[in-house]
Structure 1
Amino acid sequence: MSPVLALLFQFAFFYPIVMSFFWMSGGLYYYFRRERKARLRTDPPTIATLPFVSILIPCHNEAEQVDETMAAALAQHYPDFEVIAINDGSSDDTAARLDALAEQHERLRVIHLDRNLGKANALRMGALAARSEYLVCIDGDALLDEYATHWMVWHLQSGPRVGAVTGNPRIRNRSTLLGRLQVGEFSSIIGMIKRAQRVYGRLFTVSGVICAFRRTALHRIGYWSDDMVTEDIDISWRLQMDHWDIRYEPNALCFILMPETLKGLWRQRLRWAQGGVEVMLRHTRDLLSWRKRRMWAVLFEYMLSVTWAYTMLFIMVLWLLGLFMPMPQQLYVRSILPSWHGVILAMVCLMQFAASLIIDRRYETRVGRNYYWMIWYPIAYWMLSLFTTVTALPRTLLKRRNRRAIWTSPDRGIK
């Protein structure tokens, strides 16, 4: 094997392990310093003056979930708020259901848009109609925890440069193996990553399903971009490039529906990967400024993940070619099946799951029962990350510029 190929193998092997230790150390540091002795979800910190808050809920074809979502939003343990539902050209009876709910609840206002213009546009319309400086944004199928608004507003009031606060999404559909795997993923990967990134100061993205914003910050950067396939990643980068701080609050819970079919999961993760590539291509040049150096770690981490995906693809192609044709010895790949290094990777992943269990039992006392299924997770997560990243880059490069990103109805689990 050539030295170059040996180096690629080492990078492909060590990258997931190094990142796992990075996420674990950052997540545990965040937990022991900021979470372990913090108040429980049901006992949020006192806010000197409780400001008026607007909860924005963009909806597109959400008839099956909209009653439940609005009920949870209207049940906030917070004294002064309004709920604004934005019906973005739904073709089902979402509009009629929202109007009926608005007649029952004084706090609820409904905005009807005549056609599907995308989530970013719906959020912008809601923000312009809102009467508050503080905007809590959730998806139309999400159930907001009753204390979530209080926790996020506490952060926004804690400092004038706090531009956004992202919450802690929890999976509520767990009827299949894919559902149970995602319970562990949101805890041991997504939650860990956000904690680790908060330690070094910048987040790759807020969670689009639950986030609170300062309207002043949004106004400075021009609100959400309607041509980005993932508006949450783009708004996160632009806020931080404008020197606004983004916080992570694990006590701000939100219960969400996730795909439980392979097709639905693939479509969702491909959209996430494409959103990351779009943001990287659009903003990398702007990040070269020394004044924006705090974003370099986020950019470097993401570029490493893309490099790893294409490195793995290259190794797999060499292996496949070697099955059907003679290859030079320096390019011959004997096998891609895990051997001793696979065992090490599995052990590191189990350590990561154990660390996340220590942290996460604070928010779900019985979350540990889902970790039985996590033996399948290392292969599932890294392979999914690999193929979606590899597919997303050319797809983004070939995408028509300035094309509006409109709604597509996602897979919300097995009915």
Structure 2
Amino acid sequence: MLFLEITLLALYGLCLAFVLGFSLTQFQLTRLARQAYRRGLPPEPAPPAFWPRVTVQLPLYNEVFVAERLIDACAALNYPLNLLHVQVLDDSTDETVALVAARVAHYRALGVHIDQVRRPDRQGYKAGALRYGLEHTDGELIAIFDADFVPEPDFLLRTVPYFQDAGLGVVQTRWGHLNEEYSLLTELQAFGLNAHFHVEQVGRTAGGHFINFNGTGGVWRRTCIEDAGGWHTDTLTEDLDLSYRAQLRGWRFHYLPHVVAPAELPATLDALKSQQFRWTKGAAETARKHLRTVLRSSESLATKLHATFHLLNSTVFVAILLMALVSVPLVFVRADLPELKPVLRVASVFLLAFVPLIYYYFTAWRLDKPTAPVWRFVPQFLLFLSVSMGLTLHNARAVLLGYSGRQSAFIRTPKLGLVRRQGRWQGRRYRTGDLLDGLTLTEGLLALYFAFGIGAGLYFGDWGLIPFHLMLTVGYGLIFMYSVRHRK
């Protein structure tokens, strides 16, 4: 019995160490980002003497609610018409095909070079579509926008001049949010994404570390794509995969936090879960594919360390899930074995691993909302942390599938054309699965399990893990509640 209890404690400690390591790398990136903001953004480059040919690729699959909005925005891009080519990579199987055809015909009549590109099949999903599109265009630069994006007219004028640097392979811009205030779910998503775009990408750029193209809202140099081996279809995060292959080939990436590409956030839990599954499983697949190469590369030790936690960031969900499951029995271990109390105190310092994350997320929150009262950060951060914990079962499963090498279909995130608080998610036609499946029922049971952990802590007078169990109960409870609410 003692062996089992020590094993549980050791497992908890190992997971805690991993979470702390991840938190400390985010802390360092935050310091680098703050230094970069204090120095101020460098001036934008002067317009080039000769503007290059640009192809704007729009990968679509059954996007009846947003396809026209996207095409309208890209047709309005301010760029020399004779140098701009818009490719609508349309893999749709519903009436989106007809909507796209009508908009393409409309803009062609106005003199825009725009094509609706239809493939024989959907092999390779988004990566396959991007690769197929490259074979049918001569663009020197390739801008990519997913269906939920609405780029500003000056997007190309603000990004293309950076490619006068011959060694630059990618310019990535910051995502904005069209419907952040739509619901609590969208507000919390924006909270998390803002940390990545306001802080993490800035810190990686400032430190000379690997960053990633975020799949959309950015521009590639065509020769960079080709030199790195083109778009591969063996991971669900083709963007992260190609980013690492390109940077390992010596191409540099540049991030522009001051250029914003507005996009729509998933408003329903099934849409959010499909996105999270793709991101977390794809990150694990990319780590499996590239981590060894990164560690063997000639990059600096600091860059290798940051790249390791970058590639393993989705593994944090596995670590937190294991810690959570083990933490309830630890309440009883602490009560039954008082002689181990000095050692078992390590279980109560869980929240200390998240202190660096407070610094990370607060910095991003303040950059995004410079005039908001500070007290508003606390409930939003705690809710974000709780909901993130509530997704650990779903995301940990995706990560383990990624490391196992099992292939999965690319399930795109449904978009509904929502802006601010306008529009309804009810009655939507695009769904990604049954929200009341066995996994969701398990999430509901886990909410009860961690509530039991709170009760056990109160019974034994052990307050060390109660904050952790409270966040887990709230997080899993909210995920289960949204599953019931969004099942229609």
Q: Where on the TM-score scale, by shorter chain, does this alignment land: which range? A: 0.7 to 0.9
Contact kept? 2:149, 2:264, Cα under 8 Å: yes
SS in 2 for 1:144: coil
Contact kept? 2:175, 2:197, Cα under 8 Å: no
Q: What residue in structure 2 maps to residue 261 of structure 1?
A: 268
Which segment is superposed worse, 370-379 or 71-80? 370-379
Given the alignment of the two structures, is residue 100 of structure 1 paired with residue 106 of structure 2, yes or no?
no
Which segment is superposed worse, 309-318 or 192-201? 309-318
Contact kept? 2:59, 2:130, Cα under 8 Å: yes
Query: Following TM superposition, by how much is the alpha carbon of 1:204 offset from its aligned partner in structure 2, in angstroms?
Result: 4.1
Distance 2:192 2:210 in 1: 18
Given the alignment of the two structures, is residue 83 of structure 1 paired with residue 91 of structure 2, yes or no?
no
Q: What residue in structure 1 maps to residue 328 of structure 2?
A: 320
Q: Relative to structure 1, is the Cα distance of residues 56 and 63 closer, same or farther in structure 2, using a 3 angstrom cutoff?
A: same
Contact kept? 1:124, 1:223, Cα under 8 Å: yes
Contact kept? 1:151, 1:249, Cα under 8 Å: no
User: Which residue of 212, 215, 235 corresponds with 1:208?
Assistant: 215
Query: Following TM superposition, by how much is the alpha carbon of 1:70 offset from its aligned partner in structure 2, in angstroms?
Result: 0.8
Q: What residue in structure 2 maps to residue 72 of structure 1?
A: 73
Distance 1:165 1:221 in 2: 16
Q: What residue in structure 1 maps to residue 444 of structure 2?
A: none
Query: Following TM superposition, by how much is the alpha carbon of 1:196 offset from its aligned partner in structure 2, in angstroms?
Result: 0.9
Q: Equivalent pairs: percent with the same residue?
A: 21
Q: What residue in structure 1 maps to residue 286 of structure 2?
A: 279
Contact kept? 2:195, 2:361, Cα under 8 Å: yes
Q: What residue in structure 1 maps to residue 206 of structure 2?
A: 199
Distance 1:251 1:376 in 2: 28
Contact kept? 2:320, 2:389, Cα under 8 Å: no
Q: What residue in structure 1 maps to residue 414 of structure 2?
A: 410
**Runs of at least 5 residues in structure 1 that lack an aligned partner in the other structure:** none
User: Which residue of 302, 308, 311 corresponds with 1:300?
Assistant: 308
Distance 1:192 1:29 in 2: 11
Query: Following TM superposition, by how much is the alpha carbon of 1:285 offset from its aligned partner in structure 2, in angstroms?
Result: 2.6
Query: Following TM superposition, by how much is the alpha carbon of 1:181 offset from its aligned partner in structure 2, in angstroms?
Result: 1.5
SS in 1 for 2:325: helix
Query: Following TM superposition, by how much is the alpha carbon of 1:8 offset from its aligned partner in structure 2, in angstroms?
Result: 4.3
SS in 1 for 2:121: coil
Given the alignment of the two structures, is residue 141 of structure 1 paired with residue 148 of structure 2, yes or no?
yes
Query: Following TM superposition, by how much is the alpha carbon of 1:399 offset from its aligned partner in structure 2, in angstroms?
Result: 4.0
Distance 1:387 1:59 in 2: 30
Q: TM-score, normalised by structure 2?
A: 0.71
Q: Bigger radius of gyration, 1 or 2? A: 2
Distance 1:204 1:383 in 2: 25
Q: Relative to structure 1, is the Cα distance of residues 281 and 17 closer, same or farther in structure 2, using a 3 angstrom cutoff?
A: closer
1:35-184 correspondence to structure 2 within 5 Å: 35=41, 38=43, 45-79=46-80, 80-88=83-91, 90-106=92-108, 107=112, 108-117=114-123, 118-157=125-164, 159-174=165-180, 175-184=182-191
Query: Following TM superposition, by how much is the alpha carbon of 1:246 offset from its aligned partner in structure 2, in angstroms?
Result: 1.1
SS in 2 for 1:191: helix
Which segment is superposed worse, 126-135 or 12-21? 12-21
Given the alignment of the two structures, is residue 232 of structure 1 paired with residue 239 of structure 2, yes or no?
yes
SS in 1 for 2:143: strand
Query: Following TM superposition, by how much is the alpha carbon of 1:370 offset from its aligned partner in structure 2, in angstroms?
Result: 8.7
CA offset digits 1:299-358 (Å, max 9, x no partner): 32236646654443443333333568897665996897x78x749947x65554443255
Contact kept? 2:12, 2:323, Cα under 8 Å: no
Q: Relative to structure 1, is the Cα distance of residues 263 and 406 closer, same or farther in structure 2, using a 3 angstrom cutoff?
A: closer
SS in 1 for 2:62: coil
Q: Relative to structure 1, is the Cα distance of residues 368 and 143 closer, same or farther in structure 2, using a 3 angstrom cutoff?
A: farther
**Runs of at least 5 residues in structure 2 that lack an aligned partner in the other structure:** 419-423, 426-488
SS in 1 for 2:265: coil
Q: 1 or 2, which has the higher helix percentage?
A: 2
Contact kept? 1:54, 1:132, Cα under 8 Å: yes
SS in 2 for 1:284: helix
User: Which residue of 378, 382, 397 corresponds with 2:403?
Assistant: 397
Contact kept? 1:141, 1:257, Cα under 8 Å: yes
Q: CA RMSD in A?
A: 3.6
Contact kept? 1:164, 1:245, Cα under 8 Å: yes
Corresponding letter in the other structure for 1:302: H
Contact kept? 2:73, 2:152, Cα under 8 Å: yes
Distance 2:51 2:73 in 1: 20
Contact kept? 1:169, 1:207, Cα under 8 Å: no
Contact kept? 1:180, 1:370, Cα under 8 Å: no
SS in 2 for 1:285: helix
Distance 1:303 1:5 in 2: 22
Q: Relative to structure 1, is the Cα distance of residues 75 and 359 closer, same or farther in structure 2, using a 3 angstrom cutoff?
A: same
Q: What residue in structure 2 maps to residue 22 of structure 1?
A: 28
1:326-345 correspondence to structure 2 within 5 Å: 330=340, 342=351, 345=354
Q: What residue in structure 2 maps to residue 380 of structure 1?
A: 386
Q: What residue in structure 2 maps to residue 32 of structure 1?
A: 38
Q: Relative to structure 1, is the Cα distance of residues 202 and 322 closer, same or farther in structure 2, using a 3 angstrom cutoff?
A: closer
Distance 2:99 2:376 in 1: 35
Query: Following TM superposition, by how much is the alpha carbon of 1:188 offset from its aligned partner in structure 2, in angstroms?
Result: 2.4
